[in-house]
């Protein structure tokens, strides 16, 4: 029979420390430095998040379209108004904090309404080019952006030239319409109409309707006044008989075509004293079918 092994000696009870463990000692002898706090904002993490990426795209689109809209502030004010309205109605939580993005879309939509397709294309091309330049020396995206800028820039320039031509044509049509409504209906009616308007001290009918651009300044200078309305007022103050003043007879010489030269420095009213001042020498020209104005004026 084998002998029974001896029991192992009893283990002493574990002693728990009464206080916290001692702080580790730095090799220099002092306490270890506190760990550096991590960055609160990470640009890379922001651009990779859906909300951050969408916000950057909307902001870039708005900033690129803004110059093409003539630096209009109206879309930006509309966006601010939408944002404030959403906050007042407490819809920002319902939209899960996408209210700023919605306001940005309102700004972009407003800018697009005040621009055209070629403006959008050029703004997008500039955005691609800037993104490519930010990724240099990886040059492929920058090259694509440069080609896009060249193509969209040509289209943008051609569109602008065409718009200017259309505006010039519209201005010419409006000018023709204005001339068709300007002046007297015949040569013989020009002087009596001017005299009747002077007697009534009505400069609008004379300065805007009966006198051409080349006659306005000489007409005002003939009575020492700075402009046409002041000249009409000066002549009106010298009229003594409004009913007789427009009945004057003046020597008239028919010029080539349908115009005439009228010597209103030699006006007569029959018997009696002159009811008003002499006027000047008028060159009457037909500017549209059946419309006559004073194209040149010479003082007496």
Q: Is 279 exposed, middle or buried (0-12, 13-18, 19+ CB in 10 A)?
A: buried
What pLDDT is recorded for position 198?
92
**pLDDT at residue 219 in the model:** 92
Q: What order do you get walking across the sheet with 260-263 strand by strand?
A: 252-254, 260-263, 281-288, 291-298
pLDDT per position as a tens digit, 189-204 = 889 999 999 999 988 8
pLDDT digits 0-9 by tens, 248-299: 888 888 765 678 889 999 999 887 789 999 999 999 988 878 888 898 999 9
Could you read off the pLDDT of 109-163 as tens digits, one per residue?
888 888 888 888 888 888 777 777 776 777 787 788 888 888 888 888 888 888 8
Q: What is the DSSP letter of 287?
A: E
Q: Does 30 have pLDDT greater than 60?
A: no
| 91 membership: H or E segment, kind and range | none
pTM of the predicted model, to two decimals?
Answer: 0.45
């Amino acid at each position: 029979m084998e002998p029974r092994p001896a029991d192992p000696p009893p283990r002493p009870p574990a002693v728990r420390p009464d206080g916290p463990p001692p702080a580790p000692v730095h090799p220099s002898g002092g306490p270890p430095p506190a760990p550096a706090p991590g960055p609160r904002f990470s640009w890379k993490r922001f651009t990779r998040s859906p909300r951050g990426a969408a916000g950057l795209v909307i902001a870039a689109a708005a900033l690129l379209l803004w110059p093409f809209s003539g630096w209009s502030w109206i879309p930006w004010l509309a966006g601010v108004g939408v944002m404030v309205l959403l906050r007042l109605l407490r819809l920002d939580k319902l939209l899960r904090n996408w209210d700023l993005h919605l306001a940005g879309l309102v700004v972009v939509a407003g800018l697009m309404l005040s621009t055209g397709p070629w403006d959008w294309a050029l703004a997008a091309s500039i955005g691609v080019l800037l993104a490519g330049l930010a990724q240099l020396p990886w040059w492929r995206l920058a090259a694509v952006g440069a080609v896009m800028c060249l193509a969209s820039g040509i289209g943008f320039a051609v569109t602008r030239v065409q718009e200017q031509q259309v505006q010039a044509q519209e201005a010419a049509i409006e000018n023709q319409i204005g001339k068709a409504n300007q002046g007297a209906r015949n040569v013989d009616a020009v002087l009596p109409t001017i005299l009747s308007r002077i007697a009534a001290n009505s400069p609008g009918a004379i300065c805007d309707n009966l006198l051409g651009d080349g006659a306005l300044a000489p007409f005002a200078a003939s009575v020492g006044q700075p402009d046409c309305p002041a000249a009409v007022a000066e002549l009106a103050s010298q009229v003594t008989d409004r009913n007789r003043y427009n009945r004057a007879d003046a020597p008239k010489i028919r010029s080539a075509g349908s115009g005439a030269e009228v010597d209103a420095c030699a006006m007569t009213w029959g018997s009696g004293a002159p009811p008003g001042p002499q006027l000047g020498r008028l060159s009457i020209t037909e500017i549209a079918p059946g419309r006559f104005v004073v194209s040149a004026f010479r003082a007496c």
